[in-house]
Each structure stands twice: as C-alpha cells, then as structure tokens.
C-alpha cells in the first residue's frame, strides 16, 4: 500500500527545447507525389486513345470564328481570359470591317475598343492588336508569317496563340496547350508535366504523326466538354477504360 504521507516526487520538466520535426524538403515532397502518380500510358494505348477521339470527331474544328490567318490571329489573341462565345460576339461586327492589319490600323484603337469592350482586359488587348497590326504591315507586308518563333515576338502573342495560328491556318502540326489540354494530358496521363511549355514539348514528341495535326482540337474539346475540371463526365468518356485517373466519376 502506498504511504499517503510520503511526498510524490515528480520529474522536473525539461528545460531543453524540443527538437522540431524535420521538414520534408519541397523537392523530396514533389518527387514523392510524382512517384504516387499513375505512369503515363504506353504508345499502343496512346494510339488507341487518339483513334477513338478521331472516330468520335473525324474533322475537329476550333470554336473561334475567323475568315483568314489575320482574323484568326486576332481572335486567338482576344480569347485570353475570355470564352470563345464571348470573342465571337465581339468580332461579329469587327471582322467585316477590319479583316486585314491595314484596315485594323485605319479603324484605330478607339474604334477597336468599342467592338471588344465586353472582353476582359479590352484596353490592353486593343493596344496589343494595334501594335501587332502595325508590325505586320511594316515588317511582313500585311501577311501573317508561318512561324511560331516570329509570331511570338508580336505584342500580345505567346507560345499558345502562335501555335494555334500555325496549326489551323497553315497546317503545322503544333499542339498548343491551354488549361484543358494540360489537365487532360496529366489525367490520362499522356505525360506527367509541370508547365504548358513542358506539356507541348512532350506531346509533340509522343503523339503519333498521323494524329498530331488535329491533336490540339481533340484534346481541348475533350477537356472542355467531357474531362471537365471539377467533375469529369467519365461515364460518357470514350477512353475511360484506358484512362488511369484515380478519381473517376463512374458509378
């Protein structure tokens, strides 16, 4: 029996500071995440994926309205942070009166703003379109060059815009990458990538030649209408049995 009169001796609290838990280095954490991610599909599976996408939509088309390479360039530049539907509404009255760089310069920046004022960042976009048009007139005779590298030097034109233009206007099999294509690429996954540029470079190396010309359209339409960001509609996806995405919505 314990002697209740005997004082209970307690161990004094430690005065030395406790050692904090070692933080996992960001690089190591990223590596761990990549190790847990599904491995990219093999070449045979990739071919089958694009065969099915082609079968479902043999001649895919972009959803921006345009009449020539210049109006396509303007429409794609205006589509940044905007919907294709919104751009088409804005350009419905614009392109009939300004379908060349020279006509756009004659319309003037204020005239252009009046047509595109419903779009996000319309002031900046108007300045870029006018500066882009001026360079096309002064340096390229009013023609749109078939070169991603040259187009990227124009005001308001990045890699994605340039790749879309040469793909659609000139049949250059570039794979322009937006948020939809980036998502689909990493979900299936066709490749494991961290940036749009890295995604484009990977896809242009991996996609078989026979599918590369239309790959941009197949992937963007698939991401826009089926493989959606918040809730992909896996139940009607033509390649759901080939997809390795772990969070499918199939019941």
Q: Which of 85, 82, 80 is nearest to 64 (CA)?
A: 85
Query: Side-chain half-sphere of 90: how many Cα atoms within 13 Å?
Result: 27
Active-site residue, from 39, 125, 127, 178? 178
Assess contact for 105 and 160: CB atoms under 8 A.
Answer: no
Q: At what angle do helices 109-116 and 84-91 cross, to 10 degrees?
A: 130
Check: CB of residue 142 under 8 Å from CB of residue 136. Answer: yes
Residue 227 assigned to a binding site: yes
Give, in order, the Cα–Cα distances in Å from 194 to each of 13, 51, 117, 200, 202: 48, 26, 34, 11, 11
Which among 31, 160, 205, 228 is annotated as catalytic?
A: 160
Catalytic, 92? Answer no
Residue owning tokens 């493989």: 227
Whether 165 has a binding-site annotation, put simply, is: no
Q: How many CA atoms lie within 13 A of 77 on its CB side?
A: 27
Is 234 annotated to bind a ligand? Reply is yes
Three-state SS at 228: coil
- Is 178 designated active site? yes
47-78 b/e (C-beta count within 10 Å ≥ 16 → b): eebbebbbeeeeebebebebeebbbbbbbbbb
Task: Say whether 199 counts as a known binding-site residue.
Answer: no
- Active-site positions read 160, 178
Annotated binding site for [4Fe-4S] cluster: 227, 234, 237, 243
């Amino acid at each position: 029996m314990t002697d209740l009169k005997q004082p209970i001796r307690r161990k004094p609290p430690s005065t030395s500071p406790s050692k904090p838990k070692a933080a996992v280095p960001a690089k190591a954490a990223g590596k761990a995440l990549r190790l847990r991610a599904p491995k990219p599909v093999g070449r045979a599976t990739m071919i089958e994926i694009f065969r099915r996408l082609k079968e479902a939509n043999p001649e895919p088309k972009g959803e921006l309205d345009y009449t020539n390479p210049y109006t396509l360039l303007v429409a794609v530049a205006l589509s940044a942070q905007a919907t294709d539907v919104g751009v088409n509404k804005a350009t419905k009255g614009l392109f009939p009166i300004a379908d060349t760089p020279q006509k756009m310069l004659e319309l003037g920046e204020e005239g252009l703003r009046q047509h595109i004022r419903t779009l996000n960042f319309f002031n900046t976009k108007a300045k870029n379109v006018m500066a882009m048009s001026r360079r096309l007139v002064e340096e390229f005779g009013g023609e749109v060059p078939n070169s991603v590298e040259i187009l990227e030097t124009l005001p308001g034109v990045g890699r994605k815009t340039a790749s879309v233009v040469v793909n659609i206007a000139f049949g250059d099999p570039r794979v322009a990458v937006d948020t939809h294509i980036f998502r689909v690429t990493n979900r299936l996954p066709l490749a494991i990538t961290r940036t749009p540029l890295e995604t484009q470079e990977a896809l242009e190396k991996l996609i078989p030649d026979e599918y590369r010309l239309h790959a941009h359209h197949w992937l963007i339409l698939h991401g826009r209408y089926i493989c959606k960001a918040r809730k992909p509609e896996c139940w009607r996806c033509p390649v759901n049995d080939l997809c390795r995405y772990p969070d499918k919505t199939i019941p």
